[in-house]
Amino acid sequence: MRPSKRAPDEMRAVSFERGMLRHAEGSCLVKFGDTHVLVTATLEERLPPWLKGQGRGWVTAEYGMLPRATHERTRRESSAGKQSGRTLEIQRLIGRSMRTVVDLVALGERQITLDCDVIQADGGTRTASITGAWIALYDCIEWMKKRAMLKKDPLKDHVAAISCGIYQGTPVLDLDYAEDSEAETDMNFVMTGSHGIIEIQGTAEKKPFSDEELTQLIVLARKGVGKLIDLQKIAVG
């Protein structure tokens, strides 16, 4: 039995609230159960120096957790003077995930930055961030369309992400913190609306997982991502 009493293939309640911040070109408060992430999309008419003059844009991301997003206060990384390896890995993952579904040439020589701030953490912060970031990115691109800034829609597909794992010998979908901290296997899946796989991150925590278990987790992930993309479609109308 899962601590949350959910069925093995049951996700937490998921919601998207668009337009949370008046100044951002796109914003979304995404909730995966008790994991809450505020994502904003910022459009800038400038590029990293190494991209200038190449006729294409860029999509990047930053990720952070508020000090009391967790049970105990975590020191702000800005106070520490550097970002942790975990933070850098997650924000690079978010940026990579978004760029796979954006036509950077159609975007033009502009940059969109997705800021993912974890307000409350209960497992799956990176998967919630990716899923919510797509909503904020969508709204930013719609903002550009309304101002006739684009000749072609640069957004090619949906992106969503979900965690899966093996908890007490059973493959389960969408791990919360209680499961994540005790799971024998923990995996994150990033997929597109057309069923493409962007990234799979997987670790056996207590014992190696088999080919059969990996297949079961992939099946669960496809089911979860499919539901998330359906929810994204409803959210953006």
Instruction: Report how far residue 52's alpha carbon sits from residue 59's, in angstroms, rounded to the nearest whole number.
Output: 14
Instruction: Report how far residue 235's alpha carbon sits from residue 146's, in angstroms, rounded to the nearest whole number.
Output: 19
Residues 6+ apart with CB under 8 A from 235: 16, 18, 135
pLDDT digits (tens, 9 = 90+) for 20-76: 999 999 999 999 999 999 999 999 998 989 988 899 999 999 999 998 998 889 888
pLDDT digits (tens, 9 = 90+) for 138-197: 999 999 999 999 999 999 999 999 999 999 999 999 999 999 999 999 999 999 999 999
Instruction: Report how far residue 107's alpha carbon sits from residue 98's, in angstroms, rounded to the nearest whole number.
Output: 13
pLDDT of residue 74: 83
In three-state secondary structure terms, 34 is coil
pLDDT exceeds cutoff 80 at 80? no
pLDDT of residue 206: 82
Instruction: Report how far residue 177's alpha carbon sits from residue 69's, in angstroms, rounded to the nearest whole number.
Output: 12
Give the number of other CB atoms < 10 A from CB of residue 3.
11
Q: Is 61 exposed, middle or buried (0-12, 13-18, 19+ CB in 10 A)?
A: buried
pLDDT digits (tens, 9 = 90+) for 105-146: 999 999 999 999 999 999 999 999 999 999 999 999 999 999
pLDDT of residue 82: 76
pLDDT exceeds cutoff 90 at 8? yes
**Helix 125-146 vs helix 211-236: angle between axes, to the nearest 10 degrees?**
30
Residues 6+ apart with CB under 8 A from 211: none
pLDDT of residue 45: 93
Instruction: Report how far residue 10's alpha carbon sits from residue 189's, in angstroms, rounded to the nearest whole number.
Output: 16
Give the number of other CB atoms < 10 A from CB of residue 210.
11
**CA angle, 21 as apex, 228 and 155 as ends, to 5°?**
45
Q: Under a CB-based contact definition with an 8 Å cutoff, are residues 196 and 221 in contact?
A: no
- Report whether CATH 3.30.230.70 matches the domain 14-236: yes
Tell me which residue of 136, 116, 137, 119 sits closest to 127, measured CA to CA: 116
Instruction: Report how far residue 159's alpha carbon sits from residue 229's, in angstroms, rounded to the nearest whole number.
Output: 7
Instruction: Report how far residue 107's alpha carbon sits from residue 117's, in angstroms, rounded to the nearest whole number.
Output: 25
